[in-house]
Structure formats: structure tokens, C-alpha cells
Amino acid sequence: MPKKKQPFQTQRQHVKRLETLIDASKVLNTTLDLEKLLGLILGLAMKNLKAARGTIYLIDWEKQELWSKVLKGKELVEIRLPIGTGIAGHVSKTGKTVNLKDAWKDKRFFSGFDLRTGFQTKTMLCMPMRDRNKKVIGVFQILNKRQGTFDKDDEQFLEAFSLHAALAIETARLHQAIVEKEKIEKEIEIAANIQRRLLPKEIPFLPGYEIDAVARPSKHVGGDYFDIIPLAESKFALVVADVSGKGVPAALLVSTLQASLHAYIEGNAKLPDLVKKLNGVVYRNTEPDRYITFFIGVLDLAKGLFTYVNAGHNFPYVFNPTKNSIDPLKAGGLPLGMFDFAEFQEDTVNLSLSEGMVLYTDGVTEAMDRSFTEYGEERFQKSIKESGSGSVNALKDRILLDIEKFVGGEPQSDDLTFMVLKRVG
């Protein structure tokens, strides 16, 4: 029996819908801005389905939520609801279309929006939006067809249109991810430049002593800082610090610390008073979760006396190759910026001939191998003891080699900074 030909009017509507889909796909390619794109998609869907209102929800599978942006007054605000809640939530969970002639008669319908706004939802077409792999990425919720109810033609059009919409959304998200990645990389580059400018351009010569230092920033750029500051009366200040957090905020906080330190240290203040001033600066210029572990010591070259304050930092080590001993420098107080008011204590050690010190940040002892085991204090102390009788340059190279051998090629997760000093006569 021959098939019946479709009526001319139906064929014409079908061709018009196909032309509309082609035109719509062209429109969707005009922007990579996700917010603008969602507005275009919704506008085209409402126009072609002759609907009064609508919402597009995207799915955040990680949080198990639907989210959308809606107008509240003149501003766009984000709304979120759990997957499975309401009709849109049901569609996202089941992947099945819901076409209602009277939304208020459906138990799944959330009437709160209508009650708050005065809008009366009558007909509703709620359909999943699928990507090329048939995965549900969002939900169309189209309300109140201007004449009659949503029919099978409307469902077929929206299903076909959702493929174009999903492709455009996927492209916009990829573009957004690339832009965000470039932004992060730029931020890292800026932070790294700030960090490099704050470190000494060259290691100064200290008569009667050998001194060397290394600073290897991680790819994430943290806030390690070291300094060697010449003072009056043949004295030098040695500084090592570590700012909590990473990126530009950490680098800027290091910059604030460095500027304040150089300004205050010229005043010949006692170390506890100096550190107390720095604590106030950091406290006033940081968020509550930001702080700095800080170690400073003043070395009297002629007498070999080293007076220091340790503000919550890793304990530097004084080593004596002759006695094969190693001792931590603990005197100090809390990290900078934790509290508005803080007290700090100083202590003094006498560096004899051939004795030395190693100042470092936690990037040294917390360097990890593939199994996430840390290098640790014990290995670090052993490395110092075994090479402490040689030059500081040899000791520095030995520590670096030992760490590299331990991590076995694993990427550096934190800044690695340390300074080595030794009295040679």
C-alpha cells in the first residue's frame, strides 16, 4: 500500500523548522561568552516555540546541582538546586522529557516561584540537553506556549536544537577554560617576576665567612624570601621567610615584608622590637588566613656572635663538624600576622671557627617522592653532618643533590630555599 504524502502545509512547516535550525546554529557561533550564549539559546528556543518564558539550567555533576542565571531586578544572579528537585531536577536525573498541559497539577512542580512573582505557569516543556556523547549537560524549561499546548513538533524541534546548543556550550566552556588557564599562567609569571626582584642580585662577601644560598620557586609560585642585608659596624642581617599561600597575593605580601624590613632595620632597633613592628604591618595588610613564618639573625663578623629571632619558622641548624653536632635555633614567637599583638624573644649563639648554620624553608624538608613520603628533618640533618666539614658551596650542592635523588624526578610542589653560612677564619 503506497505511503500517504504529507500535506503540503506540514512539509512547508518542516522545511521552515530546518531553515530555522540552520539559522540558529549560525547565531550560536557569534559568541564564546557563556552568559551571552545562554541568553541567545534561550531566546531562540522561546521564539521558535512561541513561549512566554523559559530557563536554561546547566548541570554541575561534581556538586550534583543544576544552576542558572536569572534576572533579579536589573542584575543577573545565580540560582542552584539539587539534581532531582522540581521538574527540571527530575528531568536532569532521569533524562526524560516532561510535557505538561497544566503544571500546577503535577506534584513535582515547585509553585514557590509563581507565588513570589505573580507569574502563573500553565503549560511547560522540560527537556534534557545532551552533548554529542548523549550525556545530559543541561535542561530546557520552556513555559506557557502563547496558543495551545506544546506538541510533538515542538519536542522534535527542541531536541534537534539542543544538539546545536550543547555543541556551542561545549565550545564556549573550552574557550573559557583556555582563557582561565592563560590568566593563571600570566598571574604566575607576574608573581615569579616579583619574587625574583626581591631576592639579592648577588651574594655579598663576608670577611672570615663563607656564605651561599639557593632559591628554586615551584611552578605554582609561593612566597619564599631570603635576604642578606649589610648593617653598620661589620654586621649583616640574615633573613629567611615563607608566606602562606601562593601566586600574586603571596608575592605581593613578600614585597610588603621586604620593604618594611629594609625601612625598619635601618633604625638600629632591637630584633624583638623590629619583629614586633613587622608583625603589625603583616597583620594590618593581610586577610585572616594569611601569615608569614619569619627568621632573622644579625651576625657580628668580628665577634662571631649571631643574635636571632625565630617567628614561627622552621628551626635553622647550627652545625659543628668537629663535634659532629647539630642544634636548632628556636627562640622567637608566633608567625607574623596571626595576631595584632605579639611578643618575641631573642637569643644569641657564638659561631666558633669551622662552625656554620643552615637556614631554610619547608620546601626543603617537605619535598616528596612518588609515594608522597617527605624528605624530612632526619635526612636533612644527615646531609648537613656528612658534608659540613667542606665548603658551603659543596654543602649546598650536596643538599640539592640529596633532595633531587630522593624525589626521583617528581615535580617540585613548593618553593625550595635555603642559605648556608660557615665561619672559616
Q: Report the mean per-residue pLDDT for the chain.
A: 84
Residue 35 CA: distances (Å) to CA of 10, 39, 176, 267: 35, 6, 11, 55
What confidence score (pLDDT) does residue 247 get?
Answer: 67
Give 155-211 pLDDT, tens digit per residue: 888 888 888 888 888 888 888 888 888 887 777 777 667 667 777 888 889 999 999
Give 74-108 pLDDT, tens digit per residue: 555 677 888 888 888 889 899 999 999 998 888 88
Determine the average pLDDT of the residues in 279-300.
89
Give 20-43 pLDDT, tens digit per residue: 666 666 666 677 777 888 888 888
What confidence score (pLDDT) does residue 238 get?
Answer: 95
What confidence score (pLDDT) does residue 125 get?
Answer: 93
Distance CA 142, CA 243 (A): 51
- Over 90: is that where the pLDDT of 258 sits? no
DSSP secondary-structure letter at 111? -
Distance CA 310, CA 63 (A): 43
Half-sphere exposure of 107 (CA within 13 A, CB side): 0
Beta strands 224-231 and 235-243 are antiparallel
What confidence score (pLDDT) does residue 8 get?
Answer: 42
**Higher confidence at residue 341 or residue 293?**
293
Contact between 149 and 131 (Cβ < 8 Å): no
What confidence score (pLDDT) does residue 77 get?
Answer: 64
Going from the N-terminus, what domains does the chain have, and what CATH number goes with each?
8-180 (3.30.450.40), 199-423 (3.60.40.10)
Amino acid letter, 47:
K
Determine the average pLDDT of the residues in 217-232.
80
- Over 80: is that where the pLDDT of 138 sits? yes
- Over 90: is that where the pLDDT of 357 sits? yes
Residue 113 CA: distances (Å) to CA of 38, 86, 109, 124, 375: 21, 11, 10, 14, 58
- Over 90: is that where the pLDDT of 309 sits? yes
Contact between 191 and 251 (Cβ < 8 Å): yes
What confidence score (pLDDT) does residue 76 get?
Answer: 57
- Over 80: is that where the pLDDT of 303 sits? yes
What confidence score (pLDDT) does residue 27 get?
Answer: 66
- Over 70: is that where the pLDDT of 336 sits? yes
Q: What angle do CA 340, 346, 352 make, to 5 degrees?
A: 150
What confidence score (pLDDT) does residue 191 get?
Answer: 67
Give 266-276 pLDDT, tens digit per residue: 766 789 999 99
Give 111-130 pLDDT, tens digit per residue: 777 777 777 889 999 999 88
What confidence score (pLDDT) does residue 62 get?
Answer: 85
Distance CA 79, CA 60 (A): 12
Predicted TM-score (pTM) of this structure: 0.60
Give 45-73 pLDDT, tens digit per residue: 888 888 888 888 888 888 898 888 754 54
